[in-house]
Amino acid sequence: MTQIIWNGLFVGSFYALVALGYSMVYGIMKLLNFAHGDLYMVGAFVGFALLTSFSGFTATLSLVALLVVLLLSMVGTGLAGVAIERIAYRPLRNAPRLSLLITAVGASFALEYGMRIVAGPNPQVYPVRLGGSSVHVLGARIGVAQLVLIGVAIALMVALNAMVMRSRQGRAMRAIALDPVASRLMGVDVNRVIARAFFIGSALAGAAGVMAGSYYGSINFLMGFIIGLKAFTAAVIGGIGSFKGAMLGGVVLGLLEAFGTHYLGGQWRDVFAFAFLILFLTVRPTGLLGERVTERV
């Protein structure tokens, strides 16, 4: 039982990390960034490339080196996110939402199959594998690596929350979320702030990608698709646009899946998650912590 809860919390922290980026982009420009899950995949591959090129160092300093690689991959993925925003989303800023969503699907495909061209169709084995020692808490076996990863995830979330709630940049983001036109009139550089939001959201997804790669050990070019869906599900469950909601939703989804897997079997895990999403949305369309949105006409 404790083991199930622990597994759920662990997976949930990945979901939460990816869901944060979803939620942030959605909150600011009301765009479902379909390619977000694929940025997670890009992050995993950037980390993979860095780790294989530095393989001499990683043998000795695995955890420290991994953190450095994590940071570098976050920067790389963040830049990829900014590039996507610039190429695929910015030209359509005033277009109908449907066309934006379709370019997002296009961006998702371009990332997946672009990575397939670069890295090949076969799964890659991560050079660093976090396994090793574990501690026993309340009857559950908890890996030290898991603890570290959860710690990193929580640190990143706290940092993001502080940034959005306290800093000038964060205030600009919240202002744009409320009313982009008024923000521009008040001297906010809307394009730049949105690009920055994309950078941060993508960097978080990239971090989750590297962490997942080093934990599960194998990555492939389609790994982002399903996690993107799950992260969106998490964001919706928590109330999309709300940071605390994204974190809460991630954890809830992780726990649900852990219990679903335990009682129904692993092959039904995704069915369970999506069925829950559909049912949940019919009962509470704004999510757990979401506010009721009044649509501007």
Interaction site with other proteins (CB under 8 A)? 30, 32, 87-88, 91-92, 95-99, 101-103, 105-114, 116-117, 225-226, 229, 232-233, 236, 267-268, 270-271, 273-275, 277-279, 281-282, 285, 295, 297
Report in angstroms how near the CB of residue 275 gets to other proteins at its nearest: 6
State the minimum distance, in angstroms, from the CB of residue 242 to other proteins: 15
Q: Which of residues 38 and 70 has its CB atom nearest to other proteins in the complex?
A: 38
Nearer to other proteins, 113 or 263 (CB): 113
Minimal distance, residue 202 CB to other proteins, in Å: 17
Distance CA 234, CA 229 (A): 9
Closest to other proteins by CB, 232 or 243: 232
User: Among candidates 245, 217, 211, 218, which has minimal Cα distance to 231?
Assistant: 245
DSSP string, 88-113: IIGGGTTS-HHHHHHHHHHHHHHHHH
Shortest distance, position 190 Cβ to other proteins, whole Å = 19
C-alpha span between 158 and 238 (Å, rounded): 17
Least distance to other proteins, CB of residue 77, Å: 18
Residue among 200, 33, 40, 1 at smallest CA distance from 104 = 33
Q: In angstroms, what is the minimal distance from the CB of 156 to other proteins? A: 24
Name which of 109 and 216 has its Cβ closer to other proteins: 109
Integer Cα distance of 194 and 81 in angstroms: 11
Q: Which one, 77 or 108, has the nearer CB to other proteins?
A: 108
The whole-angstrom separation of Cα 107 and Cα 285 is: 27
When the beta carbons of 193 and 234 are compared against other proteins, the nearer one is: 234
The Cα 184–Cα 97 span in angstroms is: 20
Q: What is the largest CA-CA distance in the chain?
A: 60
Polymer length in residues for the chain: 297
As to burial, measured by CB atoms within 10 angstroms (0-12 exposed, 13-18 middle, 19+ buried), residue 248 is buried
For residue 41, give the nearest of 155, 101, 124, 133 by alpha carbon. Answer: 124
Which residue's CB is nearer to other proteins, number 6 or number 22?
22
- Using alpha carbons, select from 6, 8, 36, 21 the residue that is nearest to residue 235: 21
In the complex, minimum distance from the CB of residue 90 to other proteins, in angstroms, rounded to a whole number: 9
